[in-house]
Amino acid sequence: MIAYRIDRQSGIPTYVQLILQTKQALRLGTLTVGDRLPTAKEVVTALAINPNTVLKAYRELERDGLVQPRTGSGTFVVASLAKPGMAERSALETELDRWIRHCTAAGLDRPDLEAIVTAALDKQFDRTERDDT
């Protein structure tokens, strides 16, 4: 089961954080079809947030076709976001871990790495989008 966490300093609405974390877990295969999401009550108790916030996130995930509520049973995953390339996840994570250690040894911190990764992703996907047109 997913364990949500909320960053109250991020400026990102709480319900959006829940959605993003759920989608990330679906991409990584941490959540798979048939898994039950925590109940709204469980999330409220763990995070001290409003129940309507959890319900709003779950409704959005349902609207996206990713989860489905079952009366009396909970909310269940009905679709995955994992792609076939995620089977190589372990090797990719090993390579990424090595790169992160190299960067931190060079004195870079998380915001520095985030800036580098964001710039590289923007460059790669902008190039890919141009090539597709």
According to the model, what pLDDT value does residue 93 have?
86
Between CA 74 and CA 68 the distance in angstroms is 8
Q: How far is CA 79 from CA 16, 41, 59, 120, 125, in A?
A: 19, 23, 15, 29, 25
3-state secondary structure 84-128: HHHHHHHHHHHHHHHHHHHHHHCCCCHHHHHHHHHHHHHHHHHHH
According to the model, what pLDDT value does residue 58 have?
98
Q: What is the pLDDT along the chain (133 residues), one digit of tens a residue?
A: 899 999 999 999 999 999 999 999 999 989 999 999 999 999 999 999 999 999 999 999 999 999 999 999 999 999 999 888 777 777 888 899 999 999 999 999 999 999 999 999 999 988 756 666 5
CB 39 within 8 A of CB 74: yes
Between CA 104 and CA 102 the distance in angstroms is 6
Q: How far is CA 76 from CA 30, 58, 67, 112, 120, in A?
A: 14, 10, 5, 37, 35
According to the model, what pLDDT value does residue 26 have?
95
